[in-house]
Amino acid sequence: MAGMVQEEESSSVTSSPLQLFSLMSLSPGLGSPYPWLRELKSEERGLCLIQLLVACANQVAAGSIENANIGLEHISYLASPDGDTMQRIAAYFTEALANRMLKGWPGLHKALNSTKISSVSEEILVQRLFFELCPVLRLSYVITNLAIIEAMEGEKMVHIIDLHSSEPAQWIDLLQALSARPEGPPHLRITGIHEQKEVLELMAHQLNQEAEKLDIGFQFNPIVSKLENLDIESLRVKTGEALAISSVLQLHSLLAFDDGMLRRNSPSASKSLNPIHLQMNPLTYGDFLEKDVNFYSQRPDSASSSSPVSFASSAKMGSFLNALRGLSPKLMVVTEQESNHNTQSLMERVTEALNFYAALFDCLESTVSRASMERQKVEKMLFGEQIKNIIACEGLERKERHEKLEKWIPRLELAGFGRVPLSYHAMLQATRLLQSYGYDGYKIKEEKGCLVICWQNTPLFSISAWRFRRYI
């Protein structure tokens, strides 16, 4: 271990990932040439995994497949989908990197993925498990519903467009809240959009049952469509209706269609690895990832950062937002991942994703047993697939193009939307929800009239409210 992991008086480890990777690359082949790797303590193993992952990703980005292959072999001795936080993350990142390498051989890649089956029931299951194990969706639904209730005060005809209609719990809660309005409930119409007919049928059944029980005038309008293929005319917005739009983790997928415009004049990632100073005894793996790997992240003034002007030329996103604005919504609430996974550079995406998903995996680590099959399904079928899409895919295939609030604000403003500050009451209710479920470690902070859900000090998701704004 001497010379590879050097412990200093300050309880820190100073080691270059390139040096570590090069040392380990001297002994390729079956069987670990370093059996002591498996005897490392959790924190030491985590630091070692970070260095190996970053080094391996750099080899993949540089097109050095042989070295990358050796790196993946060494990581495999430490990674585990049922281990601690960093072992789990490493398992899914190595799968994503391997998948990217395999795409260099299309026949091999297609053959290995030809029998994959993704059923509607599995999709419903993993979304339900994410809803139950992680409070993010609950918080988004509570804040969205409160904003709708406040905006629709006194309205008698309310129409809600749900851009990804898959969770009945959100609208069941809204129906119950509207039934208690002092002036009586409005007539509510929900237009639900989803690419799976079965999901919409389940939504319709449960919501109609609840509306009948509460004696509320209700109509559910299902639209089977992918978001990028949505026909705005099919939304059937009527005169006299007060319109609200709900988008939960959906808008970013449209950025795939504007890839060329958004990536213009982006410099390539650095092909070299600089030494990293890794701090021991971090609060969370997300903490030391943020400190020690962000040297790859570009500065805010970097040329690869999209300027507000570039949003105007974002054809697909721009036309979609303009079409929504044309419906004159009284309110639109947008929930998005608060991370930048939409850069051209693979290394930037890898380091951003490491920070973001380290925090998400930490969330589950704090509340769910490592042996939980439900947790493993969420990590594999949801987080793992997102990581794979961010790292292994390009062009239209790369849908997980998460961007931060600092980019969504000018994009929505240029499309003709005006910000609606979320109320203190919404923040209070969300905080109470966290307390009632005993979710320690989560925080909610206000930023520019929007709310940001954090794990410890790492921003995870943003929630912003908007309304139709007339051009003067």
Same domain, 189 and 232: yes
Q: Are residues 41 and 143 in the same domain?
A: no
The answer on 96 and 147 residing in a single domain is no
Beta strand 458-468 with 331-337 is: antiparallel
**For the chain, what is the largest distance between any 2 Cα atoms, rounded to a whole number of angstroms?**
75
- The answer to whether 334 touches 464, Cβ cutoff 8 Å, is yes
91 and 224 both lie in a single domain = no
CA atoms within 13 A on the CB side of 181: 19
pLDDT at 4: 32
The answer as to whether 376 is a domain residue is no
Q: Is 233 contained in some domain? A: yes
- Run of H or E including 15: strand 12-15
pLDDT of residue 298: 37
Strand-pairing partners, residue 191, are: 161, 221
Which pLDDT belongs to residue 206? 96
224 and 317 in a common domain = yes
Q: Is the pLDDT of residue 395 over 80?
A: yes
- How much is the pLDDT for 103? 85
Are both 205 and 319 inside the same structural domain? yes
Q: Which residue has the higher pLDDT, 67 or 291?
A: 67
Closest of 351, 359, 354 to residue 296, by C-alpha: 351
- Answer yes or no: is 305 within a domain: no
Position 251 pLDDT exceeds 70: yes
d(CA 295, CA 273): 10
Looking at the domain assignment, is residue 124 inside a domain? no
The tokens for 136 are 């993010």
Where does a domain end: 104, 119, 151?
104
Tokens of 464: 């912003």
Regarding whether 191 and 320 lie in a shared domain, the answer is yes
Number of helices (H), then strands (E), belonging to the chain: the values are 18, 11
Segment 340-367 shows an average pLDDT of 93
Same domain, 196 and 140: yes
Is residue 435 in a domain?
Answer: yes
In a domain, 380, yes or no: no
Three-state DSSP class for residue 450: strand
Query: How many Cβ atoms from other residues are within 10 Å of residue 310's Cβ?
Result: 18
Assigned domain for 391 exists: no
Domain residue limits at 96: 35-104
- Report the DSSP pairing between strands 187-194 and 218-224: parallel
Q: How many domains does the chain have?
A: 2
Instruction: For residue range 10-64, list pLDDT tens digits in order.
Output: 333 334 444 444 444 434 444 455 555 566 677 778 888 898 999 999 999 998 8
144 and 98 in one domain? no
Spatial distance between the Cα atoms of 195 and 389, rounded to a whole number of angstroms: 19
Give yes or no: residues 330 and 229 share one domain. yes
State whether 327 and 422 are in the same domain.
yes
Question: How confident is the model over 130-165, as pLDDT tens digits?
Answer: 999 999 999 999 999 999 999 999 999 999 999 999
Confidence (pTM)? 0.82
272 pLDDT above the threshold of 50: no
154, 251: one domain? yes
Quick one: pLDDT band at residue 295, thresholds 50, 70, 90? very low
Residues 399-426: b if buried by 16+ CB within 10 A, e if exposed: bbbbbbbebbbbbbebbbbebbebbeeb
CATH of the domain at 175: 3.40.50.150
Total residues found in the chain within this entry: 472
More confident residue, 302 or 102: 102
Query: For residue 238, is it within any domain?
Result: yes
Last residue of a domain, one of 60, 87, 104: 104
Q: What is the pLDDT of residues 214-225, one digit of tens each?
A: 999 999 999 999
